[in-house]
Amino acid sequence: MPIQLLFCALLSLAAASGHGLAADATVDIDMTLRLDPAARTIEGEAQLRLPDGRSRRLQLAAAAQLRALSIDDQPARRRQRVRGALRSWSLPARAQVVDVRWGQTLEPTPTHLDHRATIGRADATAAALGSFLPAAAHWYPSVQVDGEPTMQRWRVTVITPPGQRAIVPGRLVEEADDDAGRTITYRMDVPAEGIDLIAGPYRVAERRIDSIDGRALSLRTLFHPEIEASADDYLDSLAGYFERYEKWIGPYPFDDFTIVSSPTPTGLGLPSLTYLGINVLKLPFIRDTSLGHEVLHNWWGNGVYPDYEGGNWSEGLTTFMADYHYAESNSTDKARLMRLGWLRDLSAIPPGKGLALARFTSRKHGVAAAVGYGKSAMLFYMLRERIGQANFDKGIRRFWRTNRFKVAGWPALREAFEATSGQSLEAFFAQWVEREGLPRLRLVRNETGGAELQQDESGYQLTVPLEWHEDSARQILIETLSGPSHVVAPPPGGGRLLLDPDFRLLRRLAADEIPPTLRDVNLAGSAQLTVLGDGILAGAAEELAHRLLDAPASPVDSGQPADDLPLLVVGPPDAVDGWLAHHGAAPRPQEVGKSGDVQAWAGRHGNGQPLLVVSAASANAAQAAARALPHLGRYGWVVFEDGRSSDRGHWPSTPQSITLPGSIPAAD
């Protein structure tokens, strides 16, 4: 399963436009829409109550047809300005109410795109199997004040043909069915970023629960018929998440929450609802991972709005309090692996190509994801380690109370945690939020034979966890490092000193600290492909290379592969073992042995380049494994039986360490 599906995206006008929000200005929108998904048309009538502001512009998609415009009840003719996909009209200084009638033909819903392409789109699309009109497509009229989008409150009525059902963020206040179709009304009474309209052939399931402050909450699923049977399980999980997060943070800020299925492979968190692909919702683990992440975005992102100009903190805090929290509740080993995963991805960013957290807005590419989710979540982990769980939790509640439905940046988070911990966190936030890149640490033996921590020229102030192993006893040593080096004084007596073996510090990992994984072969440049045996696996090997690699592999049929390029080796078991012995590579690992019909494992060859070995008993087995292998890229090894992974695991990392001799007892 591609890891990308576990990332969600918040749909944000501000993030999409690259602007801040005119957060003090809110427009009230009352509109009625007729959406015909099969015909791909929408017709609308909207009344906008305008906020004050020096320069205000009404805006609408250039693709829409304006049918009528009146300002303060007078028909108005204003000159329009068209820029890109957007048209706009300046509004008179004293105008208070604008009435707009418009219509638009929508693009067909794309069902062929992958997750990444789907998330990145901002087109208004329609089809009988599902329609999605994101606010960023400007499919309804909105207002800009002084060049920035405003917040919005709304009452939206949508009329859809029989069999269709529409939803927008907010509280369901009315619905009625007749032969002509369904009329449904939603209200959003707090300022939100924009109206995303979704419609489809939905079946509804509902459950009522009580919120922590005594309100009745409605939890719903709007599912396509093919996944309707899983609605109850999803509602059970939802109820659990609401209980957990209301206790942890404070009352849920809306009255409804709905999981809406999509025919496209999407994953979006909107206020009071989440929009997830049907194929995502079919995956058994989504209820235990992504769903909680999406629910939590109602507090972080859609309850407190990130200040995109100062950096979006909401993905990191949501990842820490959802994905990481679940891993930690599961086992310390899972939590450690997640931290290693974050540091691994951050360490893969070439120096100078990184991004400061203060510049992260949304996940546009791998670097942004590694920083905006991983580095940010790791910051919250280190913060909790530093101020303790109790102060962290109090800070979270304080931040929520103070900033509900406001735009808040990193400084507001710092203030909340400073208030509850009584510590100055200025240096901590400054170095992890404002600075790009990561410190690089070394643990070395100095001239006098003692242990010394060194950092590159970056000059971070670091709290460094070390582990001291003496016989079978283990002890954690916490050292602070603010200059280029620091002498560590472990307890007397010989032993081994390890640098941060559990990955509790944000830092660039050394090569040996990063255990090989199956997907590494795709990360380090164009790979070489060696196919062993008499050619029966050639087809399967090509398919595997095609599915696994972004760039075509160069064949190395005989002779020596280049030392400085990744290498994929595919062959029957005996030929693989012979090749490994002949090339002086590490033999087949005990973990995979010869169980199953295909064994795949990651290692290194040449000058430390990624090596992926696939040992297959038959061409059919190799074909079946080729389909599954790309989804298991984060593992170090996998055993397949009939195309399914029957066993898999991670390779251990080798921490930086030095061995110190015991002091020689003085003779007396």
Binding site for Zn ion (CB under 5 A): 8, 315
Q: Which two tokens stand for residue 107?
A: 């693009």
Q: Report the candidate in 407, 402, 325, 315 with the shortest Cα–Cα distance to residue 361.
A: 315
CA gap 318, 290 in Å, rounded: 11
Q: Report the candidate in 154, 169, 149, 138 with the shortest Cα–Cα distance to residue 25.
A: 149
CA gap 538, 615 in Å, rounded: 13
Residue nearer to Zn ion on the CB measure, 11 or 529: 11
The torsion of the CA quartet 311, 315, 317, 320, rounded to 10 degrees, works out to: -140
Residue nearer to Zn ion on the CB measure, 188 or 295: 295
Residue 16 Cβ vs Zn ion, minimum distance, rounded to whole Å = 15
- Determine how β-strand 554-555 pairs with β-strand 528-531: parallel
Q: Which helix (H) or strand (E) holds 618?
A: none
Query: How buried is 152 (Cβ within 10 angstroms: 0-12 exposed, 13-18 middle, 19+ buried)?
Result: buried
Look up residue 309 and give its DSSP letter: G
Residue nearer to Zn ion on the CB measure, 301 or 409: 301
Residue 269 Cβ vs Zn ion, minimum distance, rounded to whole Å = 6
Residue 376 Cβ vs Zn ion, minimum distance, rounded to whole Å = 11
Residues 550 and 522 sit within 8 Å (Cβ to Cβ) = yes
* Phi-psi map region of 436: left, alpha, beta (phi>0 left; psi -120 to 50 alpha): beta
- Determine how β-strand 125-126 pairs with β-strand 462-470: unpaired
Residue nearer to Zn ion on the CB measure, 252 or 460: 252
Residue 131 Cβ vs Zn ion, minimum distance, rounded to whole Å = 23
Residue nearer to Zn ion on the CB measure, 8 or 379: 8
Residue 434 Cβ vs Zn ion, minimum distance, rounded to whole Å = 23
Residue nearer to Zn ion on the CB measure, 267 or 533: 267
Residue nearer to Zn ion on the CB measure, 8 or 343: 8
Residue 373 Cβ vs Zn ion, minimum distance, rounded to whole Å = 8
Residue nearer to Zn ion on the CB measure, 11 or 624: 11
Residue nearer to Zn ion on the CB measure, 291 or 549: 291
Give the CA angle between residues 508, 511, 512 to the nearest 5°. 120
Residue 278 Cβ vs Zn ion, minimum distance, rounded to whole Å = 20
Look up residue 476 and give its DSSP letter: E
CA gap 625, 616 in Å, rounded: 9
CA gap 209, 215 in Å, rounded: 8
Residue nearer to Zn ion on the CB measure, 123 or 315: 315
Q: Which residues pair with 125 in a beta bridge?
A: 107, 132
Q: Distances from the Cα of 660 to the Cαs of 445, 448, 481, 488, in angstroms?
A: 9, 11, 20, 11
Residue 276 Cβ vs Zn ion, minimum distance, rounded to whole Å = 12
CA gap 229, 546 in Å, rounded: 36
Residue 311 Cβ vs Zn ion, minimum distance, rounded to whole Å = 15
For 183-242, the DSSP string reads EEEEEEEEEES---EEEES-EEEEEEEE-TTS-EEEEEEEE-GGGGGGHHHHHHHHHHHH
Residue nearer to Zn ion on the CB measure, 99 or 323: 323
Residue nearer to Zn ion on the CB measure, 125 or 312: 312
Residue with the shortest CB distance to Zn ion: 8
The torsion of the CA quartet 284, 285, 288, 293, rounded to 10 degrees, works out to: -120
Residue 252 Cβ vs Zn ion, minimum distance, rounded to whole Å = 17
Q: Distances from the Cα of 198 to the Cαs of 130, 447, 608, in angstroms?
A: 7, 67, 49
SS3 1: coil
CA gap 205, 220 in Å, rounded: 5
Q: Number of C-alpha atoms within 13 angstroms, CB side, residue 244?
A: 15
Residue nearer to Zn ion on the CB measure, 8 or 416: 8
Residue 621 Cβ vs Zn ion, minimum distance, rounded to whole Å = 38
Residue 406 Cβ vs Zn ion, minimum distance, rounded to whole Å = 20
Residue nearer to Zn ion on the CB measure, 315 or 418: 315
Look up residue 457 and give its DSSP letter: T
- From the CB of residue 196, how many other CB atoms can be counted at a distance below 10 Å? 24
Residue 301 Cβ vs Zn ion, minimum distance, rounded to whole Å = 7
Residue 293 Cβ vs Zn ion, minimum distance, rounded to whole Å = 6
CA gap 260, 455 in Å, rounded: 49
Residue nearer to Zn ion on the CB measure, 184 or 370: 370
- Determine how β-strand 216-223 pairs with β-strand 256-262: parallel
Residue nearer to Zn ion on the CB measure, 315 or 345: 315
Residue 11 Cβ vs Zn ion, minimum distance, rounded to whole Å = 11
Residue 363 Cβ vs Zn ion, minimum distance, rounded to whole Å = 8
Give the CA angle between residues 562, 567, 572 to the nearest 5°. 120
**Contacts by 324-333, CB closer than 8 A, 24 or more apart:** 324/377, 324/381, 326/288, 326/289, 326/292
